[in-house]
Amino acid sequence: MANLWSGRFSSDPDPTAFEFGASFRFDKRLFEDDVTGSLAWVEGLTGAGVFSAADAKTVSSALQDILEQGWRDPGFVGGPDEDVHAFVERQLVARVGDLGKRLHTGRSRNEQVSLDLRLYLRRRIPVLQKQLALVVGALATKAEHADDAVMPAYTHLRRAQPVLVAHFFLAHVSALRRDHARFTWASQEADAMPLGSGAVAGTNYAIDTAKLASRLGFSRVVVNSIDASSDRDFVAGFLHASAMTLVHLSRLSEDLIIFCDEEHGFFQLSDASSTGSSMMPQKKNPDPLELTRGKTGRLIGHLAGWLATMKGLPSGYNKDLQEDKEAVFDAEDTVAGVLSALVGVVDGLEIFPKTTAAAASGLLLATDVADFLVSKGMPFRQAHEVVGAMVRQLLAQGRDFGALTLAEWQQHSKLFDDDVRRVVTPDASVRARKTPQSTHPQAVSVALAEVTEWLRRL
Ligand code: ARG
């Protein structure tokens, strides 16, 4: 069978080798973008005098017809072709004959595939960002409903200091908003129009590349044809944004797995977001959270794998670059799948404020006790010593600050007075915070309002 390059060879390709090199199986996902790029190329060629206005009209309407047929019937996009570019060209020639064979004038698949993937990502990234915003919205709603509930914040996974439950949810929101911005950067990185680069050296036809760029929605044109033929930095950027998003969702998942367990019992997953055990009737397993954690490894793998593929490439296009697409598509599908599962998980989460408050009181108020002594004039380092000794004693006695009489407080320091009892509650602890990023209820409500406003503006 003839293909896009068979003229050079005296025999047909070995079917196994051809199949091994073919990408149509997965790059059919670029069908729409490939036709979009070709429609623009028709205009470019017309401007360069290769097509007459009448030829351009014939070719464009055939391409339009191919596009519509693909939209109507996804099964249409298939066949023995090497890749999506060959498929579209075959369909075009079937409709307009020899005229269709002129479309590839001055153009290479090297720039075509770069264009297609750039168009694809610029189209699909905003869809992922919308899904990401839904998870942010679900977390913000949890924060709002948590009201003034307190819980322990952890460092080293040991109880550290009381915080608002809302502050905990907004912590995850902060990370996810950075991911949202990272996807925007990935899209901006893809924002350069490669047509006019030819196979590697540029093209012999006077293509108005600036005009093509703006027609295709790009704000700039690539600078160097050699670089353009193998530049997939935007792929690495997209895979990085995807991997980071999953790293953050994995950490959220890990937190929820821990806080929903029998030992903590801070939150509970809805039945709808949990799974049972085939053997142990009591089990309620957090499968969606575990899968999120698990799939993160795969996305980190796509990023690491892609960087490894790029690092040894000589200048110009190399077929290794074909590996970009399966990584991108799988990353996209994985991020989309995880995000849609997590909206439901977060929405269905139940918070148990009594349990979280109980865990947030006791010895984790030690820093507040030390700060009390500081407010009475003691140097912090010395206050730390005094309170450390108190903690040691209380632990040995199985008591906490709340159980101490004034006389007992004063055995440790004469600076303690009755006011100290008002300081050693989780509520007082969070209200003592004074910075905008802190867990002070007012700071948290300002932060929540800012998130709500951000979501509204999207
Ligand atoms: N399927 C190829 C890819 O994904 C398209 C470009 C082919 N170019 C070439 N010179 N063989 O990269």
Residue 187: active-site member:
no
| Interval between CA 114 and ligand 1 midpoint (Å) | 9
Determine which residue's CA is closest to atom 4 belonging to ligand 1: 322
Helix, strand, or coil here: 15? helix
Give pLDDT tens digits for 49-95: 999 999 999 999 999 999 999 999 989 999 999 999 999 999 999 99
Q: Is pLDDT at 100 greater than 90 in this prediction?
A: yes
Out of 11-15, 57-61, 200-204, 389-393, pick the least confident. Answer: 11-15
Please indicate whether residue 110, judged by its CB atom, sits closer than 6 Å to ligand 1. yes
Question: For residue 108, what pLDDT is reported?
Answer: 98
Q: Which of 125, 40, 112 is nearest to 83 (CA)?
A: 112
Q: Which two tokens stand for residue 307?
A: 């960087």
Please indicate whether residue 433, judged by its CB atom, sits closer than 6 Å to ligand 1. no
Could you please report the per-residue DSSP string of 35-100? HHHHHHHHHHHHHTTSS-HHHHHHHHHHHHHHHHHHHH-GGGS-SS-SSHHHHHHHHHHHHHGGGG
d(CA 84, CA 442): 56
* Closest atom, ligand 1, to C-alpha of 324: 4
Single pTM value for the model: 0.95
| Interval between CA 214 and ligand 1 midpoint (Å) | 25
* Closest atom, ligand 1, to C-alpha of 82: 1
d(CA 91, CA 82): 13
Residue to mutate, 23, 85, 309, ligand 1, most ligand atoms under 8 Å from C-beta: 23
Give pLDDT tens digits for 54-64: 999 999 999 99
Question: For residue 9, what pLDDT is reported?
Answer: 87
What lies within 8 Å, CB to CB, of 275 at 6+ separation is 284, 285, 287
Q: Is pLDDT at 1 greater than 80 in this prediction?
A: no
Which residues make beta-bridge pairs with 193? 221
Residue 277: active-site member:
yes
Please indicate whether residue 3, judged by its CB atom, sits closer than 6 Å to ligand 1. no
Q: Which of 6, 277, 340, 375 is catalytic?
A: 277
Give pLDDT tens digits for 402-427: 999 999 999 999 999 999 999 999 99
Q: Residue 34 corresponds to which amino acid?
A: D
Residues 302-318 have a mean pLDDT of 98
Block residue for tokens 């030992």: 263
Residue 211: pLDDT band by 50, 70, 90 thresholds? Answer: very high
Q: Which of 233, 228, 237, 235 is nearest to 315 (CA)?
A: 228
Q: Is pLDDT at 2 greater than 80 in this prediction?
A: no
